[in-house]
Structure 1
Amino acid sequence: MTMRKWVAMAMASAALVASAGTADAQFGGLVGGLVKRAGVTLPSFRKEPISTSIADARWADPGQDGFTPPTPRRDLAQLQRTPNGGFLLQAGYFGFHDQSYCLHAGTHGPGGGDGYLYAPPLGAARDAVITIVQNSVRHPEIDQHTIQALLWAILARARIENLSNEQRVAAAQLMTPKQLAGLNRSVVDMLSAGPIADNLPREVRSVLQAEADLRRMLGTPGTSYAELEQVAVLAGMAPLGAGSVEVPNGRWSHHPDGYWIRYLPSGYTNTVVEIWVPDGAPGIGKEYDPATHIAVPGNTARQRLIQSGRAYR
C-alpha cells in the first residue's frame, strides 16, 4: 500500500475520532507519524455530528443524591407549551415520560444502574438534530422509529438521496432547506476495518463499524428498523468505557437556567425526566426545551440520549 493511500485512510479515520476524548492522544500519535513520514500537513478535521461527552456534563450535583422534592410530583404536560415544543417552568416538582433518541450508535443502551447527567448538544450537526427533535412535536404523525432512523442517518453521515422514501419525507418535514442540502454533500466512507482501525481503542472501533454499517444499510432498500437497531444498539453487558465517571442512577444536574433536572431512562426510546424548581428559583418562567438536553451516561460505553417534547406512549 502506498504512503499516500495510508495517509488518506488515516485522515478518514481521524475525521471520525477527532473528538473521541481519551482516544485522541493514542490515535493522534499514529496519524501524526504517518503524515510526518509522508511530508504533508494535516487539514482541519470536521467535527463529529454530535460530539457531546461526559466532559461536557459539568452541572452534576452530588450534594442532592438521594433527594426527593418535598411536594407532590405534577405532570409537566400541564404547563404552558412553547413554540419549540418545550415547557414554561413554574415552581414545583414535575415529571414527564418522553420519547428519547439514541445519539451514539454502536454503544449499549441504558441499564446496570448507570446514571445520566445534563449536557447540551454539541457538534457539527447540532442545529439539524435540535431542529428535528423540536419539529417532531408538531408532527405527531411521524413515527418515532422514522425519526430515530433519520437521526442515525445524520450521525452516520449518510446521503439523503440514499434514504428510504419515508425517511426523505420526514426529513423534508422536520428540517430546513439548508439543513437538507447539508445531507446531500458527498462524504468519505470512514475506515472501519484494517491496519489503522486495529490500532484504535475498542470502543472507537465499535462506533466506526456501526456508522459504516448504518450508512450501507440506510442505502439498501428494504432494510427494516429492527436491522438498524441491531447495529446501533449493542446487546449484552456494557463494559466500562474509557473516561467513564461514576454516576449513580437518579443524580440531579443543576441546570444553568436555575432548576434541577434528572433523567431516568427505560431503554433508549423513552426517559422519565424529573424537574425541581424551588420557590424563588431563577428557573421560574424559563423554558425547558427537551431538544437542547442530552442525557449523558457516566459510563461512556452507553448511549447519549436526546430528550423530546413528545410524550411516550
Structure 2
Amino acid sequence: MKNFKSISLALLISISGLTAQAQFGALKDKLLKVGASQGAKALGVDKLLKQPEAISTSFEDVNREGEMMPDFKAKEKFQPLYLLPKNPDGGYVLCEGYYEMTNKSYCLKAGTFAPSKGDGYMFAPVLGPKEEIVVAILKSAEKHKDVDQHDIQILLWTIIARTKFADYAGTVKLTALKLLTTKQLTQLEGGALGILPFDVMAKAKDQLPAGLKAVFEAENNIRQLVASGNYTYADMEKYAILAGMAPPRSDVPSGIWTKHPDGYFVRYFPSGYSVTKVQVYVPKELMANGNKIIYDAAGDIACPANTGSQRLAQTNEPLNANYSIKLTTVCKTK
C-alpha cells in the first residue's frame, strides 16, 4: 500500500510537471509572439513601409505627349549613334537624322520580371533619393572599363535594395569604392535599411499589396546576401529577377516612340535587362538654329508600361561598336 501511494504521488508530480511545462510552453509562445509584435513596432514597420524607393521612377513619370506609334519612321535607315561627336561632359552631340546604338543597360527594380518581346518601354528620367548616386555610377563606369558589367549591376541592386554601406561586403564594396567618391559613399547611408528579421518581414508583407510583396522580399534577400559577403551574380539575379513574364499592355506596344523633353524622339528595344537597342530621331527643324543638343543616356530610364517589369537604366556605352563605319550625315553643331 505504501509503495502504491509512492507511485501515485510520483505519477501526480510527473503529470503536474508536464502540465506546467505545457502551460509554460504556451505562455512562452505567446510571449514570443507579443515580443515579435513589439519588436516590429519598435522597428517602425508602418514608417518603414512609407520610406521612398531608392529610385522611384514609374510609368506615371512618362510624358506621353507627342508619342508616336511603332510605324513612325519605320522605313528610315539608322546610323550608329556612337559615331556622333562626343560631348566632353558625357554623351553625344546630336545631329539631324536617324541614329541607333545597342548599349549596356541595367535593371533598376529588383523582384520584377525581365523584359519580354511585347513590352513597350518609354523614356523617363532617373528619379528618387538615390538618383544622383545611380547617375554617378553610370558616368563613372564609362571611365572604368576594367569594372565588369555584372559587378556594376550588383552594386545597383544593392543600392536599389537600400542597403546600408556599413553592411557592404565582398566585391560590391570594392566596386563602390572604385566608382564613387568619398562624399557619394557617405550618401549611401541615407534612407538605407538593415536586414529585417523574419517576423518583421512577415508583418510588413501583410500590409503590402500583392504587387509590392515580391519587391520588398527581394530587397531584403539582397541585403542579406550583401552583408554575408558570400554571393555570386547568379545568387543576386535569383532574387532580383522573377521567373516568367509580366502580361504586356496592348496600349503601349513595343517600339513606341517618346518625345524627349529636348525635342528629339527616342525608343527602346531591350534584349533582357543588360542590353538595349536605342533608336533616336532628330528632326531637321530641331537643329535649324544650330542648337547644341546632347544625348546623355546616363540619366535615362527605359520605363515599362507594365509595372511588373523592370526599369532599365541606359548608358552611353555601346556594345559591339564598329568604328570603321563612317557617318553619311555632316554634323554642323555650335
- For normalisation by structure 2, the TM-score amounts to 0.77
1:236, CA displacement in angstroms?
1.3
CA deviation digits over 1:16-70, x for unaligned, max 9?
4x4xxxxxxxxxxxxxxxxxxxxxxxxxxx4321000010011364444311265
Matched, 1:155 2:160: yes
1:4, CA displacement in angstroms?
5.3
Matched, 1:274 2:279: yes
2:317 corresponding residue in structure 1: 310
1:95 corresponding residue in structure 2: 100
The worse-fitting range, judged by mean Cα deviation, of 274-283 and 200-209 is: 274-283
Which amino acid in 2 is paired with 1:217?
A: L
**Aligned to 1:280, what secondary structure does the other structure show?**
helix
Task: Give 1:173's match in structure 2, choosing from 163, 169, 178.
Answer: 178
Any gaps of 5 or more consecutive residues in structure 2?
1-33, 321-334
Residues 1:13 and 1:132: Cα distance change in structure 2 (over 3 Å): farther
Aligned length: 281
1:214 corresponding residue in structure 2: 222
1:69-218 aligned at under 5 Å gives the runs 71-184=76-189, 187-189=193-195, 193-218=201-226
Contact 2:115 2:245 in 1 (8 A): no
Any gaps of 5 or more consecutive residues in structure 1?
19-45
Contact 2:195 2:224 in 1 (8 A): no
Matched, 1:234 2:242: yes
The worse-fitting range, judged by mean Cα deviation, of 97-106 and 156-165 is: 156-165
1:46-61 aligned at under 5 Å gives the runs 46-59=51-64, 61=66
Residues 1:70 and 1:92: Cα distance change in structure 2 (over 3 Å): farther
1:42 corresponding residue in structure 2: none
C-alpha RMSD of the superposition: 2.4
- Give the number of the structure whose alpha-carbon radius of gyration is greater: 2
The worse-fitting range, judged by mean Cα deviation, of 227-236 and 159-168 is: 159-168
Residues 1:164 and 1:312: Cα distance change in structure 2 (over 3 Å): farther
1:221-300 aligned at under 5 Å gives the runs 221-239=229-247, 246-281=251-286, 285-300=292-307
Which amino acid in 1 is paired with 2:308?
A: A
Which amino acid in 2 is paired with 1:12?
A: V
Partner Cα distance (1:282, 1:258) in 2: 10
Partner Cα distance (2:169, 2:176) in 1: 11
Partner Cα distance (2:263, 2:287) in 1: 5
Sequence identity, in percent?
Answer: 36
Contact 2:268 2:277 in 1 (8 A): yes
Matched, 1:68 2:76: no
Partner Cα distance (1:100, 1:60) in 2: 25
Contact 2:67 2:259 in 1 (8 A): no
Residues 1:210 and 1:239: Cα distance change in structure 2 (over 3 Å): farther
- For normalisation by structure 1, the TM-score amounts to 0.82
1:202, CA displacement in angstroms?
1.4
Residues 1:245 and 1:291: Cα distance change in structure 2 (over 3 Å): farther
